[in-house]
Amino acid sequence: MKKEVSSGAEKAEKLTRTKTADTAKKAQSAKKPAVKKVEAQKKTVKKTEKTVKPVKKVKKEKKISEKKLAKKKLHEEKKLQAAKIRAEKKQKRLEKKLEHKQKRLDRIASFKEKRAERREKRRERKDMLKHETKEARLKRIAEEKHAKTEARIAKRQAAAAERQARREHRLKVRAEKRADREQKSKTPGFGGWLAAVISLGVVTLALGSMLTFGWMNMDGMQADMASVHTQSVYELNSVVDNLDANLSKARVTNSANEQVKILTDIAIESEIAETILERLPVDTQLTQNMTSFVNKMGDSAQSMLYAVARGKKLTESQKASLEYMYDVNLEMKRIINDLVSCCGEKEMIQAMKGKEDSLMVKSFGDIQNNTIETPKEINDGPFSDSIKKVSAKNIEALEEISATRAEELAGEYFKDYNVTDVRCTGETVAEQLECFNILISTGDGEMMAQLSKKGGKVVMFDSYKDCSDKNFSVDRCVDIATDFLNALGFDGMKAVWTSENGTTCNLNFAYEANGVIYYPDMIKVKVCEERGIVTGMEGLSYVLNHTERRANSAEISESEARANLNSVFEEEGARLAVIPLDGEEVLAYEFFGSYGDNTYYIYVDAKTGDEVQVLTVVGTAQGRALL
């Protein structure tokens, strides 16, 4: 039977049980940290034991790694050493390669410099011969011979003095040795005397053999060189004979096929002749006119060949050029044929030694002085020496002036030059243009000018002004020349070429209209860079060719013309220009640019798109020359 308890008692009993339970939980929770603490201490001890135990193993591994490290270090050092050796070898190879390259560049630069010097000498020689009279030429040749004779005498005297000094020195040394021997009282016996005689005989025999062999070698070398040069003269004679035959045929043939064959042969033979002339053992001054002639003959033949290949007929001017080339070549042939018939080994050796009385020197001197005359040029530039001057187009209708009026005009044109007197010294004809020769006296010297009889246009002006310093830039010289031309009535001119020769600035001006350059209307001007004044002008080409022309328009675009250029050509600029070509004026696109180390002007026909002319710029001692 269940016992009944009051509600108050139940609550008290329940409260007691709850307290008892809480007390038991607290006691149990108090025991747990202690257990955890003990377990943590055990783990710490185990860890300590674990860390303490491998101490011996770590030391053992450290010893092994040090050995490996030392071995590895030694291996790395060997690799570094090998790499260093390879790098040094590579550096040496590169240095050697660069050294060879630099030597090659130096040789090329030296060759170009020498070639430029030779060209400059030839140019100066041509300029001098152009304005030299026959009497002055004979006098100059005599003076040059006298100077060379004196130079040879002085050289021989110096060599003789040097030989005498060496002989006296030898005698002095020999006397000193003799005195030393005399001081010695010991006299050599018979055996020593015999040995000395035998030794002296052997030495004398050996020395005599060496000298004889050396002389024979030198003599043989001279003979070999003389034979080579003689062969070159025979080759030149053969080429000149072939040119004579081809030029003779070119004068009379009218067949396009035959003209192509003949002109091709002339162009090739001209190049061969130029190469042979460079090999001959004579001063370049004696062959410069002949070299220039055969060079221009080849250029003319190529120009005519191009015209014939396009189906055109040779113009009267080109036929006249053939006649001139034939006459000059015929005279060259006569002189060289005489040279070949008389020139033997002895004559060639004399020429190699520079003997002025040798047949070689005399023969080429005759060709240089009497056969070929070349015109003077102020400077070069595009089409500066290939413009055909035919007739005065723009001044035919002008009024003809008198000599007195020409003097008045000259005084007005050159009033800024401190003119003190103006005199007309006569008349002349230049390319079918009649001109007055005017002598202008100034406080700084004399000047010479030519004025056309029709219209009184300045055709040429030249003066000598000492220019030894550079005070004006090229751009300033262009402005000075432009103002000078404007004052003379030459309007619309544009500078198309500039070059410097020491302290002189050479300029080419061409007429410009509507953005088109007209190369046939060219004026050349030279300006003194010290004083900033014009010292020379040549405007014959402008006076003869300038006229009012119809507006030129291209049938193809600039981009279409550019598409016909070689891909290796690096274009730097382009413009429209009228150029002289085979006696006609052709509108073309002028492209300026470079390929490698060379600068080029390429002209593309603005109508057909054909490449009609290629010019290359060559550096010279005078600045820049265009061929």
Q: What is the CATH number of the domain that holds 581?
A: 3.10.450
Spatial distance between the Cα atoms of 625 and 298, rounded to a whole number of angstroms: 19
Range of the domain at 234: 205-371
| Percent of the chain clearing pLDDT 70 (strictly above) | 70
3-class secondary structure, 466? coil
pLDDT, position 8: 62
Spatial distance between the Cα atoms of 132 and 119, rounded to a whole number of angstroms: 20
Whether residues 229 and 348 fall in one domain: yes
Q: Is residue 31 part of a domain?
A: no
The gap from C-alpha 197 to its chain's centroid, in whole angstroms, comes to 65
Q: Is residue 500 part of a domain?
A: yes
Spatial distance between the Cα atoms of 483 and 142, rounded to a whole number of angstroms: 45
Whether residues 533 and 604 fall in one domain: no
Spatial distance between the Cα atoms of 478 and 499, rounded to a whole number of angstroms: 11
Output 465 or 184, whichever has higher pLDDT.
465
pLDDT, position 213: 42
Q: Is residue 477 part of a domain?
A: yes
Q: Is residue 579 part of a domain?
A: yes
**Residues 6 or more apart in contact with residue 478 via CB below 8 angstroms:** 495, 498, 507
User: Residue 32: pLDDT above 70?
Assistant: no
The stretch 369-395 carries a mean pLDDT of 53
Spatial distance between the Cα atoms of 600 and 577, rounded to a whole number of angstroms: 15
Q: φ, ψ for residue 327 (rounded to 5)?
A: -65, -45
Q: Is residue 621 part of a domain?
A: yes
Spatial distance between the Cα atoms of 382 and 497, rounded to a whole number of angstroms: 8
Q: Is residue 523 part of a domain?
A: yes
Which of 545, 570, 596 is the last residue in one of the domains?
Answer: 545
Whether residues 461 and 335 fall in one domain: no
Using the 8-state DSSP alphabet, how is residue 312 labeled?
P
Whether residues 359 and 215 fall in one domain: yes
Distances (CA, A) of 624 to 499, 527, 578: 6, 16, 22
Using the 8-state DSSP alphabet, how is residue 400 labeled?
B
Whether residues 354 and 449 fall in one domain: no
Whether residues 408 and 348 fall in one domain: no
189-203, 209-223, 303-317, 551-565: range with highest mean pLDDT? 551-565
Whether residues 284 and 212 fall in one domain: yes
| Percent of the chain clearing pLDDT 90 (strictly above) | 14
Structure tokens at 16: 């007691």
Number of independent structural domains in the chain? 3
Whether residues 590 and 541 fall in one domain: no
**Residues 6 or more apart in contact with residue 603 via CB below 8 angstroms:** 577, 579, 588, 589, 590, 591, 611, 612, 613, 614, 615
Whether residues 324 and 363 fall in one domain: yes
- CB 511, CB 492: distance < 8 Å: yes
- CB 575, CB 515: distance < 8 Å: yes
Q: Is residue 166 part of a domain?
A: no
Whether residues 332 and 433 fall in one domain: no
Whether residues 471 and 528 fall in one domain: yes
Structure tokens at 136: 């002055």
Whether residues 454 and 320 fall in one domain: no
Single pTM value for the model: 0.45
Least confident stretch, 203-207, 417-421, 440-444, 539-543: 203-207
Mark out the alpha helices in 343-455 (DSSP H runs).
Answer: 345-352, 359-366, 403-413
Q: Is residue 469 part of a domain?
A: yes
Which of 518, 545, 572 is the last residue in one of the domains?
Answer: 545
pLDDT, position 310: 76
